[in-house]
Amino acid sequence: MTKRREQVTIVSIGHVDHGKSTLIGRLLADTNSLPEGKLEAIKAYCEKNAKVFEYAFLLDALKEEQAQGITIDAARCFFKTDKRDYLIIDAPGHFEFVKNMITGASRADASIIVIDAKEGIRENTKRHGYLLSILGIANVCVAVNKMDLVNYEEKIFRSLQEEYTGFLSSVGITEVSFIPISARNGENIVHRSENLRWFSGRTLLEEIEQWKLEDESPKKDFRLFVQDVYKFTEGQDERRIIAGTIDYGEIHVGDRVVFSPSGKKSHIETIEIFPHSLERAYAGQSIGLTISDNFYYVSPGELLSKEGEKEPYVSKRFLAHVFWIENAPLLVNKPYQAKIGTQNVVLRITNIQKVIDSTDPQNITNKDKLERYDIGVCVIENTKPVVFDAGKDFKKTARFVIINEYHISGCGIILEPLEDKFVSLEEEIAKREKLWEKGYISKEKREKRNQHQGKFVLLTGQNSKKIQHIAKLLEKKLFELSKNVYFLSLNSIAIGLDQDLSFVETNQRYEEIRRLGELAHILTDAGLIFISYLSYIEKHEWEILKLLNTPYEILTIGIGIAPLPESDFYTLCYPEKIGDEEILKGIINTLADKEVITLEYYL
């Protein structure tokens, strides 16, 4: 069996002009990782244009970078040693580009922090260190660069080492190595420096080669976020290929896997990696999977684990460290789009337990918002159940980024799950019930006048035409029985009340459901029998409707294949082929049995 090659992602960070790009360029050149002739071509270009060659030019592939003379985006490059394959990400050091650093660091296994020996530690150097702590990146090496500019003086190196070790320790990074280097001269990168003979430690390459990776053990429980699902039709190929990158552990053909948060289970039928099929795959590999239950609809964003191993958490709420970088503050209860693995979710901070200064961890304050570069310990609630791990167990599947109006505005790591409930929604409903301004007509008087109770009747099923038809027939039948009844579809709400949601993509479905629930509450409170239908509904959406309709109950009718697996949600269930009249009879008799309406005769 071929021995697996380890794959390591390193993010290189540090303040602007401290020499990250030069360090990486030197690392590529000295490990012979550059395409043949590239180094010579760039040197020739510099000579032709009377420009002093720098190793940083090797990374300046972007035209805009060359025009501005600064690195403006995260550059990615690869190099190999006998032991491992490395992806190294050069994250810009400008304050304005911390978000790019987050993008790189969110998937990193390790980090090299670069500090200019002459300029010393800057505020951004501290923020970068704190960010590594938040994201749980364990392997950290500090390269003290430009030692040639300080005459290779040991006392300068030791002074920076002492100062920055103290800061990193205060934010929880205790396992860290320091190496004095000169990236420009190639000293202590791959080759030892004659000018730094007082340093007896490893070179930078020796240091990163000995790093132990969190996911390198095949005994680590399996984790793979579904990136996408592909279906090939050529040659009557009916397979659905589930694509993603393994974050932890390994998988074998025949293993039984669990998809979360859906809870679906199946066996691995094949493991595909172009152009071959494999019997097993392991952490770091990007693969395609087919499963034995090919009829399953699997969504991007599901997290695969193996049955019998520790399963990830599925919850609407969790406690997390959040690092905020946007000019506009992060506000409590404002909805934000977020990405956890490949999941796109909508979250809101419901409580900020404390706020920490990213350059001074001892400076802790109590604020009701996070301002730029603040770090908060926050309670976060999502509009639907999400899948994740706790950072102490699996760091990669516990990290997340927060997106505000299409821009990365913050990041964080999940500390622990919290009780799985819509706390903020329950609080809103409690407030609504307490402050609702009621008229002089009581519920009992309305029922006496109407001669029936108010009720929300919800029909669900995959055949939208059929349930729409039944819902309208039900309204007609009850109207003929002299009941105050009203039918309203989600489509009608969309072209009226929900028109302003057209551009609020991050929270649209949640807001549609929330408004339907509020409408249902108002109309049933007014004494009407309110009828609507949803061809597709998930459990958490039904729970939102149930909460919003408080104190009234929902009469839920499932027709055809029930989209909700829990039969408890349904008052009545009917197979799709059953006749319309029989369904109507069942619903009306149930309304009578529950004393919502009275009938002079049963149908």
User: Which pLDDT tens digit goes with each residue over 112-123?
Assistant: 999 999 999 998
> What is the predicted pLDDT for the residue at 138?
76
Q: Would the pLDDT of 84 be above 50?
A: yes
3-state secondary structure of 503: helix
Mean of all residue pLDDT scores within the chain: 86
Across the range 516-536, mean pLDDT stands at: 94
Q: Per residue in 391-403, pLDDT tens?
A: 989 988 999 989 8
Residue 260 designated active-site: no
Across the range 276-297, mean pLDDT stands at: 84
Residue with tokens 């800061």: 167
Q: What does the DSSP assignment read for 326-350?
A: -SSPEETT--EEEEETTEEEEEEEE
310-337 burial, b at 16+ Cβ within 10 Å, e below that, comes to ebbbbbbbbbbbbbbbbeeebebeebbb
**Nearest-5° Cα angle at 513, 509 to 514:** 115
Higher pLDDT, 241 or 239: 241
Across the range 254-282, mean pLDDT stands at: 90
Across the range 158-175, mean pLDDT stands at: 92
Higher pLDDT, 68 or 494: 494
**What are the C-alpha distances in Å from 238 to residues 24, 221, 287, 290?**
45, 30, 18, 11
Q: Would the pLDDT of 556 be above 60?
A: yes
Q: Per residue in 304-313, pLDDT tens?
A: 999 999 999 9
* Band of pLDDT at residue 561, cut at 50, 70 and 90: low
Residues linked to residue 242 through DSSP beta bridges, in sequence order:
229, 289
pTM of the model: 0.79
Across the range 458-478, mean pLDDT stands at: 93
> What is the predicted pLDDT for the residue at 402?
92
Across the range 387-414, mean pLDDT stands at: 89
Q: Which of 32-41, 61-70, 128-137, 274-283 has the lowest mean pLDDT?
A: 61-70
Across the range 8-24, mean pLDDT stands at: 86
Kind of pairing between the strands at 529-534 and 485-487: parallel
> What is the predicted pLDDT for the residue at 64?
46
> What is the predicted pLDDT for the residue at 99?
58
> What is the predicted pLDDT for the residue at 103?
60
On whether the CB atoms of residues 530 and 520 are closer than 8 A, the answer is yes
Pick from 271, 263, 264: nearest CA to 290: 271
> What is the predicted pLDDT for the residue at 39?
81
Higher pLDDT, 218 or 414: 414
Across the range 60-82, mean pLDDT stands at: 57
Q: Would the pLDDT of 97 be above 50?
A: no
Q: Would the pLDDT of 156 be above 60?
A: yes
Q: Would the pLDDT of 71 be above 50?
A: no
Q: Would the pLDDT of 352 be above 60?
A: yes
Pick from 268, 258, 257, 317: nearest CA to 290: 268
Q: Which of 441-455, 464-478, 498-512 has the lowest mean pLDDT?
A: 498-512
Q: Would the pLDDT of 300 be above 80?
A: yes
> What is the predicted pLDDT for the residue at 409?
87
Q: Per residue in 313-348, pLDDT tens?
A: 999 999 999 989 888 999 999 989 999 999 999 999
On whether the CB atoms of residues 332 and 349 are closer than 8 A, the answer is yes
- Catalytic entry in 170, 286, 299, 535: 535
> What is the predicted pLDDT for the residue at 560?
84
Higher pLDDT, 348 or 235: 348
Q: Would the pLDDT of 441 be above 60?
A: yes
Q: Which of 87-91, 227-231, 363-367 has the lowest mean pLDDT?
A: 87-91
Q: How many residues does the chain have?
A: 603
Pick from 345, 290, 283, 291: nearest CA to 314: 345
Across the range 232-248, mean pLDDT stands at: 81
> What is the predicted pLDDT for the residue at 567?
57
Q: Would the pLDDT of 199 be above 90?
A: yes
Q: Would the pLDDT of 67 be above 50?
A: no
Pick from 264, 265, 270: nearest CA to 289: 270
**Burial of 469 from C-beta contacts in 10 A (0-12 / 13-18 / 19+):** middle
Residues of the chain above pLDDT 70, percent: 89
3-state secondary structure of 532: strand
- Which residues, 6+ apart, have CB-to-CB distance to 427 below 8 Å? none
Q: What element of type H or E holds 586?
A: helix 580-593
> What is the predicted pLDDT for the residue at 215?
59
Q: Would the pLDDT of 66 be above 50?
A: no
Q: Would the pLDDT of 1 be above 50?
A: no
Q: How far apart are CA 210 and CA 273, in angstroms?
A: 28
Across the range 361-381, mean pLDDT stands at: 90
Higher pLDDT, 581 or 12: 581
